[in-house]
């Protein structure tokens, strides 16, 4: 897994090489098309649509927070917090 969490610019060739070596890339920024991990590229574009993601590596399966998954812990916590207010 590769994750980016920096405002520093990463050269495109270095990012592409790093992406190629991993299964999953998670980033809060838009990643270039040359970033092609083996399984999934969860960059800003995907995360804006999916919300948070849960990765099940033993299945393999991914669930997004916006997928209508009301049984997931992050959804239950949000509902519980709204009820308390």
Question: What is the domain count for the chain?
Answer: 1
pLDDT band at residue 85 under the 50/70/90 scheme: very low
pLDDT at 8 over 70: yes
In contact, 43 and 27? CB cutoff 8 Å = yes
Could you report the per-residue pLDDT of 12-64, keeping only the tens digit for each? 999 999 999 999 999 988 999 999 999 999 999 988 888 888 888 888 888 78
pLDDT at 10 over 60: yes
pLDDT at 84 over 50: no
Q: Which residue(s) pair with 56 in the sheet? A: 61
* Per-residue pLDDT, 62: 83
Return the half-sphere exposure (C-beta side, CA atoms, 13 A cut-off) of residue 19.
23
Domain that holds residue 24: 2-84
Q: Which residue has the higher pLDDT, 77 or 27?
A: 27
């Amino acid at each position: 897994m590769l994750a980016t969490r920096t405002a520093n610019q990463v050269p495109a060739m270095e990012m592409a090489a790093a992406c190629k070596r991993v299964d999953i890339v998670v980033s809060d920024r838009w990643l270039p098309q040359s970033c092609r991990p083996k399984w999934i590229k969860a960059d800003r574009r995907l995360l804006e649509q999916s919300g948070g993601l849960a990765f099940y590596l033993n299945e393999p399966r991914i669930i997004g927070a916006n997928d209508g998954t009301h049984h997931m812990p992050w959804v239950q916590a949000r509902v519980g917090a709204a009820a308390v207010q």
